[in-house]
Amino acid sequence: MAMTMTGEKTLPAGRPKVWAMLNDPEVLKACIPGCESLEEVGDHGFAAVVKTKIGPVSATFRGKVELSDLVPLVGYKIAGEGDGGVAGFAKGGARVSLADAEGGTLLRYDVEAHVGGKIAQLGARLIDGVVKNMADKFFANFAAAAGGPAPSGAAEPPAASLAAAPPRVESPAASPAPSAAPPAIATKKSWFRRIWEWFMSRSR
């Protein structure tokens, strides 16, 4: 049974970081749902053990993945195969490409895979749903590793500024103080005028 899947995801990180993560077995292991181990084999290969469940069938796939056509910061091709014992097998390939995007890096992927054995008998609709779900989880994990959404702590500075705001509320209450100043000034003028008038009257 053959399957194809395409998609894209904007990741909150620059291309150099995303490229490094795509070549880091520890990052990939943490992001792949059900991945029990992922070890480097040779210059551009990995040996993997992934445990998954498709409908009523649970299986542990052991296989290898080879990377080719590597163009740093641009993309590469993946070819892999896995053996799930009595559950069946899976093999296929994918092309992954990177491009600049607003807020980070746009990752595109085109996947073509073939499955056989017991799992192939479960039907394309069920298998497609499981594969899509695994892909969604992988990219959600990968996005979180790349930086994820804005941290909740980012909302703290406004909260802090609001906490510092109350002293400003008192400023309207202090506003009557300047209004009290004019009477005082008026009193001084009135007193000065009386002195001046008295002086002028004496000079006559």
In a domain, 61, yes or no: yes
Those residues whose C-beta lies under 8 Å from the C-beta of residue 66, and which sit 6 or more positions away, are: 44, 45, 78, 79, 80
Whether residue 119 contacts residue 14, with contact meaning beta carbons closer than 8 Å, is answered with no
In a domain, 23, yes or no: yes
Identify any residues that bridge with 57 across adjacent strands, giving them in sequence order. 54
CATH number for the domain spanning 45: value is 3.30.530.20
Task: Tell me: pLDDT of 158 over 60.
Answer: no
Nearest to 78 by CA among 91, 59, 62, 89: 91
Whether residue 141 contacts residue 31, with contact meaning beta carbons closer than 8 Å, is answered with yes
Q: How confident is the model at residue 197 (pLDDT cuts 50, 70, 90)?
A: low
In this predicted model, which residue has the larger pLDDT, 125 or 67? Answer: 67
Residue 76 CB coordination number (10 Å): 19
Name the residue range of residue 59's domain.
2-150
Residue 19 CB coordination number (10 Å): 20
Cα separation, 199 vs 204, whole angstroms? 9
Task: Tell me: pLDDT of 174 over 60.
Answer: no
Task: Tell me: pLDDT of 38 over 90.
Answer: yes
In a domain, 201, yes or no: no
Q: Coil, helix or strand for 14?
A: coil
Q: Coil, helix or strand for 50?
A: strand
In a domain, 191, yes or no: no
Cα separation, 19 vs 167, whole angstroms? 49
Q: The whole model's pTM is what?
A: 0.66
Average pLDDT over residues 165-182: 42
pLDDT single digits (tens) 85-111: 888 888 989 999 999 999 899 999 998
Q: Quote the pLDDT of residue 4.
A: 86
Residue 78 CB coordination number (10 Å): 19
DSSP 155: G
**AA identity, residue 74:** V
Q: Count the domains in the chain.
A: 1
In a domain, 180, yes or no: no
In a domain, 178, yes or no: no
In a domain, 56, yes or no: yes
Cα separation, 107 vs 27, whole angstroms? 16
In a domain, 57, yes or no: yes
Distances (CA, A) of 17 to 26, 60, 72, 150: 14, 31, 11, 17
Whether residue 145 contacts residue 21, with contact meaning beta carbons closer than 8 Å, is answered with yes
